[in-house]
Each structure stands twice: as C-alpha cells, then as structure tokens.
C-alpha cells in the first residue's frame, strides 16, 4: 500500500499567498474595529454635549424668572465661580476636603480589598466576621457620626474616619462578590497543575475579581464624596461642606452652587479615571461593553 501523495496544486507560493491574505484580513478587521470604537466615542460625546446644552439652556430659561434668593442660573454660577476662584476662596475650602478624601479613600480601598479577599477566600473568617460587616453596613453611617466626633474630636482624624465608613463597605462587598464569582473550575484546574496558594491568588483569583474591585472603587468615590461633605458639616468649621452651608445661610445661592458643581465635576472626573484604570487592568471589560 503506497503513501498518499501530497496535492500537487498546493505549492509554497500558494501557501505564502494564503498567509498574506490572512494577514491582510486581520489588519482590515483591526482597522474596522478601531473605526467603530472611534465612531462610538464620537457619538457618545455628541450625545453628552447635546444633552448638556439642552439642560443648561432650560435651566437658564426657567431660572431667570425665579427669585435670586431661592434659585439661580448657570450664567450666575459661572460668574460666581470666576470670582471665588480668582480670590482663592474656593481653593481654601476645597483643599482640606481633598486631603480628607484622599486619606479616607486610600485607607478604605486598602482595608476593603483586604477584608473582602479574606472573607471570600476563607470560610471560617466569613462565618465569624460576615455578620459584623452586614450589621455595620445596615446601620446608617450618619447615626455613627456623633459618636465618632465624641471619640476623635473635630479635626482631620474624625473626618477621615467618617469618610472611611462611607467608602469601606462598597469596597469590601464588591471585592467579596468578585472573589465569589470566580469560576471554581479555574481554581480546580490551577490546583490540578499544582499551583501554590500565591499562584492561585495572582493568576486566577485577583484577575477574576478585578472588575468587581474597580467597580467598588467607583462606588466608593461617590459615597466618599458624601461622607466628605457630611464630615465637614459635623466637625471643624472648614472644608467645602462648610462653604455650602455658609453661602446658603446668607442666601448667596449662586455661590452655594459653585462648590456643589465642583463636587459633581470631581465625582465625574474620578469615576472616568477609574473607568480608564479598569480598561487598563481588565481590558476584557471593553469588549463586553461593546456587545
């Protein structure tokens, strides 16, 4: 029985042509995907600009007929912002709050991720401590503020603790859920290949939980801003929260909206930066969002 001869029509030149066509197809697919991404980005930007223009236009139109002591317009807020920025008033009140925000979010992120990982990975810790996490999360953080002020005083330490309470639980809970959502079959495969506990964490558990952790960070930013303003109201007479109260009590509504808008812009900016971080550390989420 003789061996089957190779197809004489398949020559090295034909194989080279086939490989070249495949490379061209892949390059075309990459270019088409890039065009689609840029088109989607341009569409989203156009929609946001149109939405912002409509909202500001309606606000300006209806706000012009309102009592200036009760409401204001975007143009008045812009003029007040220029005045407060030029005089340094806004920055003098914003800077202490930003320091508190940084310290509180940093400690909440580190502690929240650590606690979430440990509770999700070790059943004994989950059973022993999970009930306390649920109890504290279910307790309104505002109710604990007077006690924190009583213990820690009225200065920066109390503010950081208050902000920590607001931002810790989204981090811990999202990290916990992220670890729990890791496919157990992947862990079994890792164990079958004799991966150490460290290798399981670095190669399987943490990559699988990363999208949840970044989502927890984005939620913690929003709650942290709330805790920052609340801390300013209950503690020392400083910070952007006090600026809001002071301008409202003197019926300077245009100036009152300046720190409010500043907080909103700060929240949007931090959330966008965390979204970029998510795409960097977990790029597969971009493909999921494009579906």
Contact 228, 97 (CB under 8 A): yes
Tell me if the domain spanning 91-243 has CATH number 3.90.76.10.
no
Poorest-confidence range of 21-25, 78-82, 187-191, 231-235?
A: 21-25
Helix (H), strand (E), coil (C) string for 67-118: CCCCCCCHHHHHHHHHHHHHHCHHHHHHHHHHHHHHHHHHHHHHHHHHHHHH
Cβ-based neighbour number of residue 121 at 10 Å: 17
For 122-138, how does the pLDDT look when each residue is reduced to its tens digit (9 = 90+)? Answer: 889 888 888 888 888 88
Q: What is the average per-residue pLDDT within 171-199?
A: 83
Residue 54's pLDDT is: 93
**Within 10 A of 275 (CB to CB), how many other CB atoms are there?**
16
Average of per-residue pLDDT across 252-260: 90
Tens-digit pLDDT profile for residues 210-251: 888 888 888 898 888 888 888 887 776 678 888 888 888 888
* pLDDT over 90 percentage in the chain: 15
Kind plus residue range of the DSSP H or E element containing 278: helix 253-281
Pair 136, 192: CB distance under 8 Å: no
**What is the biggest distance separating any 2 CA atoms in the chain, rounded to whole angstroms?**
103
Using a 10 angstrom Cβ sphere, with 0-12 exposed, 13-18 middle and 19 or more buried, the burial of residue 234 is middle
pLDDT band at 290 (very low <50, low <70, confident <90, very high): low
Domain residue ranges of the chain, discontinuous segments joined by +: 91-243
Query: Can you tell me the mean pLDDT for 166-186?
Result: 87
Which has the higher per-residue pLDDT, 47 or 154? 47
Rank 39-43, 104-108, 179-183, 210-214 by mean pLDDT and report only the highest. 104-108
């Amino acid at each position: 029985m003789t061996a089957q001869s190779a197809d004489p029509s398949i020559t090295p030149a034909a194989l080279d042509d086939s490989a070249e066509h495949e490379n061209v197809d892949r390059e075309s697919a990459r270019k088409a995907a890039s065009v689609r991404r840029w088109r989607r980005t341009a569409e989203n930007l156009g929609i946001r600009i149109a939405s912002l223009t409509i909202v500001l236009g309606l606000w300006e139109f209806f706000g012009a007929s309102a009592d200036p002591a009760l409401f204001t317009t975007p143009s008045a807020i812009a003029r007040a912002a220029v005045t407060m920025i030029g005089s340094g008033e806004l920055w003098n009140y914003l800077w202490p709050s930003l320091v508190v925000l940084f310290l509180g979010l940093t400690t909440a992120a580190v502690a929240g991720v650590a606690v979430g990982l440990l509770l999700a990975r070790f059943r004994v810790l989950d059973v022993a401590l999970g009930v306390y996490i649920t109890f504290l999360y279910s307790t309104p953080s505002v109710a604990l503020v007077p006690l924190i002020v009583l213990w820690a005083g009225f200065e920066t330490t109390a503010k950081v603790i208050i902000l920590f309470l607001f931002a810790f639980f989204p981090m811990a809970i999202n990290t916990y859920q992220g670890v729990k959502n890791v496919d157990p079959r992947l862990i079994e495969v890792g164990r079958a290949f004799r991966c150490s506990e460290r290798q399981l964490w670095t190669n399987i558990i943490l990559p699988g939980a990363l999208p949840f952790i970044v989502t927890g960070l984005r939620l913690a930013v929003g709650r942290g801003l709330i805790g920052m303003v609340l801390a300013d109201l209950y503690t020392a007479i400083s910070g952007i929260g006090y600026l809001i109260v002071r301008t409202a009590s003197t019926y300077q509504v245009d100036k009152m909206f300046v720190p409010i808008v500043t907080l909103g812009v700060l929240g949007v900016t931090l959330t966008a930066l965390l979204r970029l971080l998510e795409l960097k550390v977990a790029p597969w989420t971009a493909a999921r969002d494009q579906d």
